[in-house]
Structure 1
Amino acid sequence: MRPTDQKIYLASKSPRRRELLRQLGVDFELLLMRDHSGRVPDVTEALHPGEAAADYVYRVTREKADAAIQTVQVRRLPMRVILSADTTVVLGDVILGKPADQAEAIAMLRALSGKSHQVLTSVAVRRDADIWQITQTSDVTFATLPEETIRAYCAGKEPYDKAGGYGIQGYAASFIAHMAGSYTGIMGLPLFETAQLLKQAGLRLP
């Protein structure tokens, strides 16, 4: 059954996801889940002990979708399809989140330099009680990065709101010797998979 309202809620603050949804031609409204009444819990994105990367990114995305539907209900907003997503970078068995400061960003890029890692993006689309979710995985190989390149990159703003401390859509694209998977998934929203989920939820895409 198609929803009568074709606008969706985007439960994400990421400007990359906004840009990518516009690329799909999707009409959306930002749904920021922090509620001043305190009745909707924040999603902390904290890693559980022993949690695998695929389980982590899937769980956090699902928690964002659950928090989003609670936000809609608490604020008595019109019911619409909700999209949530989360991206994580994995080097071996180590999950690399968003660097807290320059020292952490430098350490992450040193660790990624000359090695292959994975980028996992999980996307959930919720319509009322129904939810569709998929996790897309890409493989990325960095060239060996000189120390001065790492420090110059981390002196700018680009690393600090991105998992793994880099953005493929920015200067860090020049670090990547090889990739296999989804470019838009590495950015934070795999468009092929996202389009399929939105269609399953009943949206009409151009």
Structure 2
Amino acid sequence: MILASGSPRRRDLLANLGVPFRVVVSGEAEDRPERDPARLAGELATLKARAVAQSHPDAVVIAADTVVALGEELLGKPADEAENRAFVRRLAGRTHQVYTGVTVLSGGQESGGVERTDVTFRALTDGEIAHYARTGEGLDKAGGYGIQGVGMALVARIDGDYSNVVGFPLALVIRLLRGAGVAVWGE
């Protein structure tokens, strides 16, 4: 089995399921014209899975991609600390959506899905925003924050799958892997 993602969070979550795997990063560009966040997350996961499966046709390949949407605005990975501050400032006191697309390819069969979670940030002071951006934690994450780290202090409420906000919705992942015949949790 291959995880087509370099995300350490996805590696950890997949390892916790007891699934032996290796990592092969697809290298697919995440710059797409699609503006619908659910479709974009699904498209990117599928592109990544297909790219890796081309070189590893006998493997089960799983790929995922996370998109953060605040209304019509899509917040990718911030380029630097200043953009990270701007992202967190826009999210402060508001509810946004986190979409993660997951695709599994196995034996020429392709299955996938997209999970959505609503996340509400609490009101934040300028000092809190600056402090969080200085940690650097949000620089490699869609939306500019990580709920599993220091960023959990930014969040007032989530409605939906917590693991989706981390970037790998486990209920969906388990369903797709089992559908591809992969044993999960020592089955």
Q: TM-score range by the shorter chain?
A: over 0.9
Deviation at residue 80 of structure 1 after TM alignment = 1.4
Q: Which residue of structure 2 lines up, in the alignment, with residue 52 of structure 1?
A: 36
1:92-120 C-alpha deviation (Å, 9 max, x unpaired)? 01110000111110110000000000000
Displacement after TM superposition at 1:43 (Å)? 1.3
Matched, 1:23 2:16: yes
Counterpart amino acid of residue 45 in structure 2: T
Q: Aligned pair 1:202/2:181, yes or no?
A: yes
After TM superposition, the score normalised by the length of structure 2 is 0.96
Match of 1:127 in 2: 106
Give distance in 1, aligned partners of 2:88 and 2:32.
21
Is 1:90 matched up with 2:69? yes
- The equivalences for 1:1-206 within 5 A come to 8-33=1-26, 42-48=27-33, 51-72=35-56, 79-206=58-185
Distance 2:19 2:169 in 1: 14
- AA of the residue aligned to 1:51: R
Which runs of 5 or more residues in structure 2 are unaligned? Answer: none
Task: Tell me the TM-score normalized by structure 1.
Answer: 0.87
Distance 1:67 1:128 in 2: 15
Deviation of the 1:71 alpha carbon: 2.7
Provide the rounded CA distance (Å) in 2 between the counterparts of 1:51 and 1:172: 26
Residue by residue over 1:131-188, the C-alpha shift from the partner in whole angstroms, topping out at 9 and shown as x without a partner, is 1101000000000110011111111120111000000000111111111111111101
Partner amino acid, structure 2, of 1:43: E
Q: Is the 2:81–2:136 contact (alpha carbons within 8 Å) kept by the matching residues of 1?
A: no
Distance 1:62 1:143 in 2: 34
3-state SS of paired residue (2:147): coil
Question: Secondary structure in 1 aligned to 2:56?
Answer: helix
Rounded Cα–Cα distance in structure 2 between residues aligned with 1:156 and 1:189: 23
**Separation in structure 2 between the aligned mates of residue 128 and residue 96 of structure 1, nearest angstrom:** 34
Larger Rg: 1
Residues 30-88 of structure 1 show CA distances to partners (whole Å, capped at 9, x for unaligned) of 1123xxxxxxxx4111130x621111111111100111112325xxxxx2100000001
Among the aligned pairs, what percent are the same residue?
39
Any gaps of 5 or more consecutive residues in structure 1?
1-7, 34-41, 74-78
Return structure 1 stretches of 4+ with deviation > 4 angstroms. Answer: none
8 Å Cα contact 2:119/2:159 also seen in 1: yes
> For 1:54 and 1:15, how far apart are their aligned partners in 2?
23
RMSD, matched Cα:
1.1
Aligned residues: 185
